[in-house]
Structure 1
């Protein structure tokens, strides 16, 4: 029997994470073939990653066949799982996404605000082409999307591509659960945490340890000790006591952009004035990582990869594939269709929520109504996401303008058009759907 995994964006520095995850679960998830796919610009990197993957597999005394290719359609033949981790425009595009908004006085971040919108605009058409190819060549395959902005991309695929076996994943909910376990000083396997909201705008609620509610204790520890938890790719600021005490919800690290906007902008602005951005730091880290990856003596994922911000990637992606393959019926947090789980949102909206994972896909665990304290914010964010998807599909300038103005990190009628126009012009090469100007 064969089991085939195709990794689109195989030249990503994150790929050793997924190789490690596959090897860790090989008795439950017995892949026989892994194909790494990339584009011409990523040829050198995917070659390096493929050689490292082979060494990792040999070290683990496994016999998975690994190869790489630039031919997507050939790679997809007989695939069972397809993971996507692409960055259209590369890190140069990310640097534009960070620098241009900051030059206009707005947050510059790769998946939030104006930068996140442009990333979605560049990515949606490419991902739809990939999904169409998956549906045509391997319609039985599950498509696991890790490409950011993950919630927006997943909804675009589910609503606008023929392939419906699509699930979005993000390491933030997993990271939050692990952090909660560390704060409460228990094993993460004992912790359950309800998630409410959208990708990168999800809140935690109802923390339980072995079925007993520990929400008050966790929020008190966050309150008293100013405990924070942020992955490497997000600036870390403390939460105020009043926020934790009065909201009674656990924020995720990306909420700093929305509830500490001035402080985050000031921090980013200081770095910008010094010629620094996260994209610039990532470029340097990537150079270091690939130099390490080339080492023929390296047979495992290096510790330096954790600085890249992708911690728990392999755990999230491989655990999901394991549960789909083995019909585990366990609870995992994924991006999928609402289907009545949140009363205020339509069934076809993609949300980030706990689901029972079966061989037929994720079944959301209903939460009922949104908490009153954040209902308006979540509904506003979902309306914004819908505008981004519409503009990303159509290339309509008016819809793009509306999406910019609707974003809580922009919302400035006097400066929206100048920001939008500069970002569209700077990304023209990767925006074939747009005619610039309006």
Structure 2
């Protein structure tokens, strides 16, 4: 089976390939095609993958190309992990937003909107090409903002595009571990949008153990989200929010921490990865060693500003291993081999959340089989969560409208309606600032 990875020169591609190397069953991926616009980055990643596969006799064959149509033809799965504008674009997203006193994070608030506006047209074109060149392929989307991009692609691919994220998986794993359960056997009642969801229950052997966690300050203080949000606030919510909700619940503190930081997250990653790819141009460089060293630093500094603002301390060692690649592999196995499983995924709503229409992409537990991902019925959201989910989905719809029509007014509306942008005037300045630095937004008129 052929797997095509779009964004194949991306730094995290070795995580996906590493997961594939653990799969030796019939029907596994035997061919990986890396596609990227940057041939130099492709060469660097191919070197890392070659060292990963050195001691694996049945490792999937790897080829690389800058020809998108060639990469897509014959694919059984397409893994989409592109970054339109690169890390320089992410750094600009952060810089323009922070200059206006609002959040520039790549998936949340002004930065997420800017990223979405330049990514959606590219993702929609990819979806149309997949529909034409590989109509039987399943697209696994990890391109951020993941929910928004998945919804844009679903307009061309229907249910054959499925979004993944490692945040819900990591959160559920941490909660289960604290409660003494096996994360693989726990049922996680998680619902919301991508980077905007809540764990409302965690069932171990049929019993919801979340009330026990919420009632114990010691347990709440023993894992990342407990320290990030604080025991009192979690008890008030009666749920454990996704870590990205820290940007909403503690927005002023987060913006202050980001403005005080020596460099934004995007600028840090831009500089860090530039060093890695430069090192990979040296013929004698040990590719896998350099990649592992760079990845460890990257993971340890994840959401560092938020942890600093909350006094949450360093990340636990067991949370430095990522996880989205395991979700991707489990998803592919379930579909390709009908190995039925349950995963938290980004899929079209259907009737899962009555406050949203059927085409809205939501992030919920899904039963996965050879026919794809099927969202599980969930209880209604509480009022405070419903308000946030509906507001952010309305913003996503304005981004999609702007990307489809090229309407600058729709783009301004998207910024102005977001809960973390506090002024229409600021929204207009943001659109001006972003169009000045992003050639990919020249379509807005």
For normalisation by structure 2, the TM-score amounts to 0.89
Q: Does 1:167 align with 2:162?
A: yes
Q: Does 1:332 align with 2:328?
A: no
Please list the CA deviations of residues 141-182 of structure 1 after superposition, one character each: whole Å capped at 9, or x if unmatched.
0000000000000111112x2564100111111111111123
Decide which of 295, 305, 312 is 2:323's aligned counterpart. Answer: 312
Please list the CA deviations of residues 85-130 of structure 1 after superposition, one character each: whole Å capped at 9, or x if unmatched.
1111111110110011101111121111111111111111111111
Decide which of 184, 187, 199 is 2:194's aligned counterpart. Answer: 199
Quote the offset at 1:203 in angstroms: 0.8
Runs of 4+ in structure 1 over 4 Å off = 221-225, 291-301
Q: In 2, distance between residues paired with 1:250 and 1:237?
A: 11
For normalisation by structure 1, the TM-score amounts to 0.91
Q: In 2, distance between residues paired with 1:209 and 1:203?
A: 18
Once the two structures are superposed, the pairs formed by residues 211-360 of structure 1 within 5 Å of their partners are 211-221=206-216, 225-229=220-224, 238-271=228-261, 274=262, 276-290=263-277, 297=286, 302=292, 304-309=294-299, 311-360=322-371
Q: In 1, distance between residues paired with 2:288 and 2:425?
A: 54
Q: Which residue of 2 aligns with 1:132?
A: 128
Quote the offset at 1:322 in angstroms: 1.0
Q: In 2, distance between residues paired with 1:342 and 1:163?
A: 18
Of residues 44-53 and 138-147 in structure 1, the stretch that sits farther from structure 2 once superposed is 44-53
Q: 1:153 to 1:222 in 2, by over 3 A?
A: farther
Tell me the number of residue pairs that the alignment of Structure 1 and Structure 2 aligns. Answer: 421
Q: Which residue of 2 aligns with 1:233?
A: none
Q: Which residue of 2 aligns with 1:25?
A: 23
Q: 1:194 to 1:391 in 2, by over 3 A?
A: same
SS where residue 139 of structure 2 aligns? strand
Once the two structures are superposed, the pairs formed by residues 393-432 of structure 1 within 5 Å of their partners are 393-427=404-438, 429-432=439-442
Q: In 1, distance between residues paired with 2:105 and 2:420?
A: 10
The question of whether the paired residues in 2 share the 8 Å contact of 1:134 and 1:163 is answered with no
Q: 1:373 to 1:104 in 2, by over 3 A?
A: closer
Contiguous gaps of at least 5 residues in structure 2: 300-320
Q: In 2, distance between residues paired with 1:28 and 1:151?
A: 32
Q: Which residue of 1 aligns with 2:304?
A: none
Quote the offset at 1:224 in angstroms: 5.8
SS where residue 103 of structure 2 aligns? coil
Please list the CA deviations of residues 255-311 of structure 1 after superposition, one character each: whole Å capped at 9, or x if unmatched.
01100011101111111xx4x111121123313544676766555872642443581
What is the RMSD of the two structures over their aligned residues, measured on CA atoms?
Answer: 2.1
SS where residue 102 of structure 2 aligns? coil
Q: 1:188 to 1:164 in 2, by over 3 A?
A: closer
Q: Which residue of 2 aligns with 1:176?
A: 171
Q: In 1, distance between residues paired with 2:96 and 2:85?
A: 15
Quote the offset at 1:238 in angstroms: 2.5
Q: 1:260 to 1:228 in 2, by over 3 A?
A: farther
The question of whether the paired residues in 2 share the 8 Å contact of 1:224 and 1:241 is answered with no
